[in-house]
Structure 1
């Protein structure tokens, strides 16, 4: 287990305000379930298809069409709950959330208000090496996604694409435990990481597969502590919801702007109107979208077409038994097994495929050296080229082969970097490349001794300086390596130079 210190979140200080204010944030994350079929139909969930090509009669609300629950989506929700250490409700139920938009053909959304499938859990958010914050999860419920309105094809017309309609979403609702923009982004990043490890959501924010609704309010110092004591939300101030955020950077910018907007209103004697707002990244501002609806405004009632969802504990236990190693456990193992720092372990476990690549490289080798090469050489080059690790020209086996040559003393660190470049651009087996191109180090002590003797004999003044100051012996090492065309093994050269100089 990781040795962590859990800090009480410190409120964000809002610069420029006349008085002291504390920022309070809660989030609702809409995560698209990784499933090939929709929540209540067999239509495909594939992204990027022609408009309205992935739509069943159920999705477009044809009369008489009844929903049928997708068991795999239920399993994915349960798996997510287990990954967040949450309570799994063996009995849950679906409700109709009634509202009228063109992209919602039924005139209602099937969701879970009163009896969600997953109850309270938590997300542990890394804030600094050894320092973490706990964000409580209130609930996770399953619901349908809506379609997509399109307004830019014809200035005089609006169109609707129903491909997303009915796609399964998990709405992951946090408590208002987040106290600043940076913490909010860190929370979304950690939650996304867990979902990707679990395989329950791909976390692709660009495609809208992970979206955040951010609830922001401000209150006077001390009010948050009163809320914690009483669970009375009135202590936290009136909140505004910023909808459909799909970028970590925009989440931080939107929260910062919204907090300043609310504080300016309050300090001028005004009141905050509870509403839903949108963030405009071009202007870096939030704008009013509509008044914030309460549950009764949606006229929730149990969906008459769907029986309560009942699952067995044995089924939940089977899912729990198949759970993968999650990020915090993997990070702790990397630090323990390979002696990695907190920072290196964080970098290497950020993505599941990166962690797997590192493990393949580190197997049977020096873990710290493997981590340095994966992070600095491989990740550095991938970032420079704008490539993902699954497209890396250098495989884990090839990088491991380079490290093996270094460990055997056959190539130097500089040679290893040259060899990495050749493998990156041309491919091939590192050992065969090194042999074919004469890249291996010279470790023949006889040849090296001859070179050392020649350089010492030619530089008597430098010899006297080195005897007076042993640090200057490095000059001879450099000259010998240079004379060998960079092939003389530095460690061997250093030992012979010191012996010859009597140091």
Structure 2
């Protein structure tokens, strides 16, 4: 490849606060257009903003979790531009003195471990939303919904350290996981709670001078980010090799075609005429506030991933799956607190629990089988009361109708048979009915053994203790 892509990402994280960043209006998603507004978020003359303390707390959490330094003093600025859904004619953001600076995240993949720098994290307000085409009562056209105006955002800006679309996706997934673990963002990409602007350029391999970049705005899925970056890399290379020049511009991604298209010329910082907002005093953050926030941070996925392997003896795969979401990790750890063995709890949390949730379209918080119910079932397996196969039947009953594992086993007569005499009788009958297979096994066809195990389990309706079955079959088949 003659060209090296250079990629930097600007991620907008919508914060999970009850009210907006500079007023008391609700941030609830899906309300009727313009029903969650006030003079402040409508930009009416004389209305003054008041900073939401929770937004600052969430920004500090994000900074600490991404290895940033927290600025003891930061300033809000006005970013001036005109757009129909920006009622004030400017956006309150941060520019020269943001709240968090100089962080990083480490991403893992086929490239090994790579560190991606984070230039800054700053707080800002969101704009409103344009609603196009069919508007109830108005017919075709466009309308402005300002419910989203003044919703609190963090903008997390990476260094241009990313070199492939796969690295970009790995970085985004890790950042997404962190903000959801912190509880500062719901992570809903379809609703725009986590969205990305991708800055892409290409330069000749071996060069140290970056090419002209384009910015693809508001991409809201990992798959679309990958497609948008790969298309933009290919488009820029083709343009250069055909003798053209890449223009610095803002582009949009079309998920229907998998391509980007030009939106407008790219603005520079001076185009926005940034200046300190005269209605907001500088924000001063004490070291005590930072340290108190640090102590309140939950165990983050990277630390949890390492602990599950070192302390619990889980495999890297198990640890990765269980730490994928904070909710699944908490469910698993509740099982451990209730007395479950780590590996068995991990297998069931990743297996039957996750399967049931996927089939029912439920989140782990709505799981019908509680950790206590699951642990009781796992303890019945450990005691030999039920087999693993029967346990799945009991689990399904718990899922559908609740109750306790012990009561279900008792009422349905599912206790595992470990009596050697009873199992021997079943084995003798099956061997007598299948002497051909017995001779095959004694002639060296070991695979026939599985046939006999299946027949015994079927005859016992799954109740026979598998360990006892295997032990007795080996003795009897060998004669």
Which position in structure 2 is the counterpart of 1:232?
Answer: none
Q: Structure 1 residues 476 and 39 mapped into 2: Cα distance closer, same or farther (>3 Å)?
A: closer
> Is the 1:40–1:166 Cα contact (8 Å) retained in structure 2?
yes
Alignment gaps of 5+ in structure 2: none
Q: Structure 1 residues 476 and 268 mapped into 2: Cα distance closer, same or farther (>3 Å)?
A: closer
Matched, 1:110 2:92: yes
Give the whole-Å Cα distance in 2 for the aligned partners of 1:258 and 1:501.
Answer: 66
Look up the SS of the partner of 2:119 in the other structure: strand
Alignment of 1:123-162 (within 5 A): 123-127=105-109, 131-152=112-133, 153=135, 154=138, 157-162=141-146
Matched, 1:64 2:50: no
Alignment of 1:426-441 (within 5 A): 426-441=401-416
Matched, 1:355 2:334: no
Look up the SS of the partner of 2:5 in the other structure: strand
Give the whole-Å Cα distance in 2 for the aligned partners of 1:37 and 1:462.
Answer: 73
Deviations 1:206-230 (A, max 9, x none): 111111011011111112xx3xxxx
Give the whole-Å Cα distance in 1 for the aligned partners of 2:426 and 2:387.
Answer: 18
Correspondent of 2:469 among 486, 493, 499 = 493
Look up the SS of the partner of 1:487 in the other structure: coil
Matched, 1:321 2:295: yes
Q: Structure 1 residues 214 and 498 mapped into 2: Cα distance closer, same or farther (>3 Å)?
A: same
> How far is 1:384 from its partner?
3.2
Which position in structure 1 is the counterpart of 2:167?
Answer: 183
Which position in structure 2 is the counterpart of 1:376?
Answer: 351
Higher mean Cα deviation, 70-79 or 331-340?
A: 331-340
> How far is 1:474 from its partner?
5.1
Give the whole-Å Cα distance in 2 for the aligned partners of 1:461 and 1:209.
Answer: 66
Higher mean Cα deviation, 170-179 or 181-190?
A: 181-190
> How far is 1:79 from its partner?
0.9
Give the whole-Å Cα distance in 1 for the aligned partners of 2:12 and 2:437.
Answer: 70
Deviations 1:258-293 (A, max 9, x none): 111111110011100000001111122111111000
Which position in structure 2 is the counterpart of 1:80?
Answer: 62
Give the whole-Å Cα distance in 2 for the aligned partners of 1:502 and 1:295.
Answer: 83
State how many pairs are aligned.
474
> How far is 1:376 from its partner?
2.5
> How far is 1:382 from its partner?
2.3
Alignment of 1:221-240 (within 5 A): 221-223=205-207, 226=208, 235-240=209-214
Look up the SS of the partner of 1:141 in the other structure: strand
Correspondent of 2:314 among 320, 335, 340 = 340
Matched, 1:205 2:189: yes
Give the whole-Å Cα distance in 1 for the aligned partners of 2:140 and 2:456.
Answer: 79
Higher mean Cα deviation, 80-89 or 382-391?
A: 382-391
Give the whole-Å Cα distance in 2 for the aligned partners of 1:271 and 1:393.
Answer: 59
Correspondent of 2:418 among 426, 431, 443 = 443
Give the whole-Å Cα distance in 1 for the aligned partners of 2:36 and 2:84.
Answer: 18
Look up the SS of the partner of 2:205 in the other structure: coil
Alignment of 1:362-401 (within 5 A): 362-363=336-337, 364-401=339-376
Deviations 1:428-484 (A, max 9, x none): 212211111111211122322344455556666665554554835555544443332
Q: Structure 1 residues 461 and 61 mapped into 2: Cα distance closer, same or farther (>3 Å)?
A: closer
Higher mean Cα deviation, 236-245 or 36-45?
A: 36-45
Which position in structure 2 is the counterpart of 1:245?
Answer: 219
Which position in structure 1 is the counterpart of 2:10?
Answer: 28
Which position in structure 2 is the counterpart of 1:52?
Answer: 34
Which position in structure 2 is the counterpart of 1:3?
Answer: none
Q: Structure 1 residues 238 and 461 mapped into 2: Cα distance closer, same or farther (>3 Å)?
A: closer
> Is the 1:126–1:133 Cα contact (8 Å) retained in structure 2?
yes
Q: Structure 1 residues 61 and 463 mapped into 2: Cα distance closer, same or farther (>3 Å)?
A: closer
> Is the 1:338–1:366 Cα contact (8 Å) retained in structure 2?
no
Which position in structure 2 is the counterpart of 1:231?
Answer: none
Look up the SS of the partner of 1:119 in the other structure: strand
Look up the SS of the partner of 2:26 in the other structure: coil
Alignment of 1:298-317 (within 5 A): 298-317=272-291
> Is the 1:151–1:159 Cα contact (8 Å) retained in structure 2?
yes
Give the whole-Å Cα distance in 2 for the aligned partners of 1:448 and 1:52.
Answer: 72
- Give the TM-score taking structure 2 as reference length: 0.93
Alignment gaps of 5+ in structure 1: 1-12, 14-19, 227-234
Which position in structure 2 is the counterpart of 1:409?
Answer: 384
> Is the 1:474–1:494 Cα contact (8 Å) retained in structure 2?
no
Give the whole-Å Cα distance in 1 for the aligned partners of 2:359 and 2:433.
Answer: 45
- CA RMSD in angstroms, aligned pairs only: 2.1
Q: Structure 1 residues 31 and 478 mapped into 2: Cα distance closer, same or farther (>3 Å)?
A: closer
Give the whole-Å Cα distance in 1 for the aligned partners of 2:216 and 2:307.
Answer: 38
- Give the TM-score taking structure 1 as reference length: 0.89
Deviations 1:63-87 (A, max 9, x none): 2111111111111101110011110
> Is the 1:119–1:138 Cα contact (8 Å) retained in structure 2?
yes
Deviations 1:302-335 (A, max 9, x none): 1111111111111111111111100101111112
